[in-house]
Amino acid sequence: MRDFFQEQLKELNRELVKMGADCEEIIALSSEALTGWNEELAKETAVIGARIDEGYRTVENICLKLLLRQQPVAKDLRVISAAMKMITDMERIGDQAEDIVDLVPKMEERPDEKYPRIREMAKAAQQMVTEAVDAYVKQDLQLAYAVMKHDDIVDDYFRQVKKGIIGIIAENPTEGEYALDLLMIAKYFERIGDHCTNIAEWVEFSVTGIHKDCQ
């Protein structure tokens, strides 16, 4: 019985890693859309978004089976509970990346070289997803803490972007709508960073039994 349980946990980890890889890819596509949006990119984003949704359902199903059939206790229960929380954030990461790609065509074409911090935010968010899922699979508390710390970098990029956008509006009020769309995109990337932090916090819970919202 214990061997079966361990095999199911391995399957759970495999599915979470697949979801993490899809989250990385969809973030990369949303960043790419800023420099070269096209119909194929939009379609590819939708396909990956659908895969993330399917991954959510798969992981949820595995978790429910483990909870109902195996009745885990202590650390095993925390690991499964954390996975169910993590996939909610991963699904939202996919949704927000899709929102970015949907928003880009509504903006007039602009040379995005003026706004490199948005692309840096995307790269930082990709790294956070990778490390957060890796921290869960390895039950690596230090890596989870590193992800939480990395969110400060994303937040700093957001503040810089916001300051630059305020400057755009001040210099040319007619570009207000474009500037607000750009701000919304930056905000989506900032929220993706927050979701990665949430994942890392659930990793901490799975290892220690402590979560900041459960104290």
pLDDT of the residue at 4:
79
pLDDT of the residue at 174:
82
> What integer is the mean pLDDT of 138-148?
95
Domain at 39, CATH number: 1.20.58.220
How many structural domains is the chain composed of? 1
Separation of alpha carbons 35 and 119, rounded Å = 10
> What integer is the mean pLDDT of 135-149?
95
Q: How many CB atoms lie within 10 A of CB 164?
A: 17
Answering whether pTM is above 0.75, one says yes
Q: What is the pLDDT of residues 78-100, one digit of tens each?
A: 999 999 999 999 999 999 999 99
Residue 29 pLDDT greater than 90, yes or no: yes
pLDDT of the residue at 194:
96
8 backbone dihedrals φ, ψ, rounded to 5°: -65, -35
Q: How many CB atoms lie within 10 A of CB 88?
A: 15
Q: How many CB atoms lie within 10 A of CB 182?
A: 25
For the chain, where are the E strands, in sequence order? Answer: none
Please answer whether residues 83 and 12 qualify as being in contact, where contact means their C-beta atoms are separated by less than 8 angstroms. Answer: yes
Question: Which is nearest to 118 in space by CA: 182, 42, 36, 170?
Answer: 182
If pLDDT is split at 50, 70 and 90, which confidence band does 109 have? low
Phi-psi region of 139 (alpha: psi -120 to 50; beta: other; left: phi over 0): left
152 backbone dihedrals φ, ψ, rounded to 5°: -60, -35
Range of the domain at 95: 2-214
pLDDT of the residue at 176:
80
